[in-house]
């Protein structure tokens, strides 16, 4: 019986590191394509389907942040990890603001990279922690939320949610008008409660607030140092 390999796109301009990481990931049973430039990465994303992109911030033709925005515009469900030699906090936060699911600093520990990839891919699979009524339609004020199809509907407008946005909104709906603590959300959906995941959570909350902004009776309130409450009047 053939075992399906996870397909990963590695975008790294350093020839030695790109070769080393791609070969190591192949040894670990990942199906890896390596792109040394942003243009090559865009071509590969258009031509093939991937489950994860590992993306260097510093590329010769385009910076990784801009490339990430281009990818997420056309493929919003494709998650990516940033690799960078830059250790400034502002760069890390910028990475999460454009949708990164993780951020690794060079020099890269190959075993740690594999461990993080495995955790991320396992979290992207359907879990038993989804709302029990996930196949039903949920009413959120003037919106209709379809967890199963990952759609948020307002009148004749359909917003297609990413997997992470869908999971987060599903959890908030399941606990509407009640406190959803930072820790519970992060452990359940991100797998770990830490500083960088909290920043990532805030980015996704901002996405949901924007999507729900057309109904003034809906608010996602932030209780300082506690968590979020989806309030529906």
Question: For residue 142, what are its two tokens?
Answer: 């003037």
* The pLDDT of residue 4: 64
Enclosing domain of residue 84: 7-124
Q: Starting at the edge strand that comes first in sequence, how are the strands of the sheet with 218-223 ordered?
A: 179-181, 227-232, 218-223
pLDDT value, residue 87:
61
Residues 159 and 67 in one domain: no
Q: Are residues 102 and 178 in the same domain?
A: no
Q: pLDDT tens across 59-89, in order? A: 899 888 888 888 888 777 788 888 877 666 6
Instruction: State the CATH number of the domain containing residue 166.
Output: 1.10.10.10
Same structural domain for residues 102 and 176?
Answer: no
Is residue 107 domain-shared with residue 158, that is, in the same domain? no
Indicate whether 38 and 144 sit together in one domain: no
Is residue 98 located within the same domain as residue 158?
no
Is the domain of 144 the same as that of 118?
no
Chain mean pLDDT for the chain: 85
pLDDT of 115 above 90: no
CB-side neighbour CA atoms (13 Å) of 131: 22
205 is a domain residue: yes
Rg for the chain (alpha carbons), in Å? 19
Asked whether residue 1 is domain-assigned, the answer is no
Question: What residue has token string 């031509």?
Answer: 47
Any idea what the Cα angle at residue 207 is, between residues 154 and 78, rounded to 5°?
100
Domain count across the chain: 2
CA-CA distance, 112 to 26, in Å (whole number)? Answer: 15
- Note whether residue 132 is domain-resident: no
Please tell me the pTM assigned to this model. 0.55
Last residue of a domain, one of 99, 124, 149: 124
From 95, 124, 153, the end of a domain falls on: 124
Same domain, 89 and 181: no
Same domain, 28 and 103: yes
Q: Of all residues in the chain, what percent carry a pLDDT higher than 90?
A: 41
DSSP string, 38-88: HHHHHHHHHHS--SEEEEES--SSS-HHHHHHHHHHH-TT--EEEEES---
32: in domain: yes
pLDDT of residue 75: 78
Per-residue pLDDT at 127 exceeds 60: no
The reply to whether 35 and 81 lie within a common domain is yes
Q: What is the DSSP letter of 194?
A: -
Question: Is residue 34 a contact partner of residue 40, using CB atoms and an 8 Å limit?
Answer: no
**CATH code of the domain covering residue 79:** 3.40.50.2300
């Amino acid at each position: 019986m053939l075992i399906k390999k996870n397909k990963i796109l590695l975008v790294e301009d350093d020839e030695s590191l790109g070769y080393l990481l791609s070969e190591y990931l192949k040894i670990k049973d990942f199906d890896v394509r390596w792109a040394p430039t942003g243009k090559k990465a865009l071509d590969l994303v258009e031509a093939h389907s991937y489950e994860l992109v590992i993306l260097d911030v510093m590329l010769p033709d385009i910076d990784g942040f801009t490339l990430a925005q281009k990818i997420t515009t056309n493929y919003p469900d494709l998650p990516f990890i940033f690799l960078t030699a830059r250790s400034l906090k502002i760069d890390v936060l910028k990475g999460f603001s454009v949708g990164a699911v993780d951020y690794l600093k060079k020099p890269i520990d190959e075993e740690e990279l594999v461990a993080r990839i495995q955790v991320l891919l396992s979290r992207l699979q359907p879990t038993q922690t989804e709302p029990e009524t996930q196949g039903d339609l949920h009413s959120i004020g003037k919106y209709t939320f379809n967890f199963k199809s990952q759609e948020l509907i307002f009148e004749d407008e359909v917003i297609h949610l990413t997997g992470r946005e869908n999971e987060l909104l599903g959890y908030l709906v399941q606990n509407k008008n009640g406190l959803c603590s930072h820790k519970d959300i992060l452990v359940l959906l991100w797998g770990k409660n830490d500083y960088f995941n909290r920043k990532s959570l805030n980015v996704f909350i901002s996405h949901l607030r924007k999507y729900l902004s057309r109904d003034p009776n809906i608010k996602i309130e932030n209780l300082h140092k506690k968590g979020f409450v989806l309030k529906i009047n």
